[in-house]
Amino acid sequence: MAKVAHAASVLEWDTPLYQQARTQLEHALELAEVPDFVSARLRHPERALILMLPVRMDDGTYRSFPAYRVQHSSVLGPTKGGIRYDEAVDLGECAALAMWMTWKCALLRLPYGGAKGGVRCNARGLSTAELARITRRLTAELAPFIGPELDIPAPDMATNEQTMAWMMDTYSMQKGYAVPEIVTGKPVSIGGSLFRHEATGAGVVMVIARACERLGWVLAAQSCAVQGFGNVGGIAASELRDEGARVVAVSDISGGVYSPEGLDVPTLHAYVAEHGSLEGYTKDVERITNEELLELECDVLVLAAREDQVTAENAGKLRCRLVAEGANGPTSVEADRILAERGIPVLPDILTNAGGVTVSYFEWVQDLGRLFWDRDEIRRRLADQLSDAFDRVWSVAQERGVSLRDAALVAAIHEVAAALESRGIYP
């Protein structure tokens, strides 16, 4: 085992975020008690692809963009995971996120393993036409490695329904017929699922609501701060408000807004739709920084922006009573320890933001069956699946006296381990 652990430290994806995923895994493996060959197999991705995408820019020049796709585990089925466009995308980030996707899918008992990919670029600085050419070139280069039975991409940071439509069209053009099941998170007009757009943010709030029940709190009586006002955070803020909770602060990359009486969330959405971000919004609010938002006094802090936001530096300064991880990997390993010492429970990412991949699974099932469900049915199925996963995590945490993150990881690892033990290592 020591040899295997040593080998990890020299592999190409071994970046700080990957180490965070590995540290969490190693800790959970101590609790999970699975055979050594299972642990060894799960420590690393099965496959990683590095690409340089040549793209013609609007001014006629050509630029090359690094791109990645990492597939962590195909034991339970095709791999599944988002595509992000961000300047920080690298192999280690994709490997860490792919590993988290494996745990998330397994925890929700979806027949998938984890994958993740992305293009290193500043999406905000690119035109729609440039983004389309990047996406189409990426899809063409990925074509031999993705497929409805092999690896199914989805949106993530700075990618959206339009990005998925370009991917679906490019893949379909190469096949010669429409293949809607190649991606999820598509527009409904080409086989997307109702409620997919809202699924991650709505799922975050379903998990928070379930946690409140267990903690003996009334969600409608809680004050909430939400970091990130995109697909996950924006929807979570709306759903919290719909549940009657007071959303006292939200933020995006441009900074945050705060009102102790509660923000007018629909007006904020309308502002962002018109102006692109919260920048410049001042009506009846106090402007705050992202750092200040994290340290606000509130009941529930929703982290829905990006990884590595609560760290050893600020974990001691949080003044919330519950942290909900809408983003992937927003809490560092040291911060987890500090929050545990301070008695602040963390609803872990692989459970809390799993609504997105769960409805992506529903979308894929609907596409394969060419039979589409209505919104109420999807919302009900999502609530059932998240409640079931939440209850299993809560039980493991209670029985073993471990954190919710460790409990979620142990429950997920057991799902993958059972499949790997049944299948064995080929040949």
- Confirm if 307 and 327 have CB atoms less than 8 A apart: yes
Which among 3, 116, 283, 317 is annotated as catalytic? 116
For 288-318, give the DSSP string: E-HHHHHTSB-SEEEE-S-SS-B-TTTGGG-
Q: What share of the chain is helix, strand, coil (3-state, %, to 5)?
A: 50, 20, 30
Q: Contacting ligand NAD (CB under 6 A), which of 290, 311, 314, 387?
A: 290
Residues recorded for the chain: 427
Task: Compute the radius of gyration of the chain from its Cα atoms.
Answer: 21
Q: Distances in Å between the alpha carbon of 294 and those of 60, 124, 332, 343?
A: 43, 25, 14, 17
Choice between 31 and 160, CB closer to ligand NAD: 160
Residue 193: which region, alpha, beta or left (left: phi > 0; alpha: psi -120 to 50)? beta
Site string for ligand NAD, 236-255 (x = CB under 6 A): ---------------xxx--
Residue in 193, 223, 231, 366 binding ligand NAD, rule: CB under 6 A: 231
242 φ/ψ angles, rounded to the nearest 5 degrees: -60, -30
- For ligand NAD, which residue of 71, 135, 184, 227 counts as binding (CB under 6 A)? 227
Taking CB under 6 A as the criterion, the residue among 165, 205, 232, 320 binding ligand NAD is 232
Residue from 117, 230, 345, 348 touching ligand NAD (CB under 6 A): that is 230
- Nearest CB to ligand NAD, comparing residues 41 and 241: 241
Could you tell me which residues are beta bridge partners of residue 347?
Answer: 324
3 is catalytic: no
Binding to ligand NAD in span 158-187, by CB under 6 A? 158
40 binds ligand NAD (CB under 6 A): no
Distance of closest approach, residue 147 Cβ to ligand NAD, in angstroms: 21
In angstroms, the CA 191 to CA 147 distance is 16
Show the binding pattern over residues 321-340: x = contacts ligand NAD (CB under 6 A), - = does not: -----xxx------------
Residues that bind ligand NAD (CB under 6 A): 155-158, 200, 227-233, 251-253, 290, 304-306, 326-328, 353, 356
Catalytic residues: 116
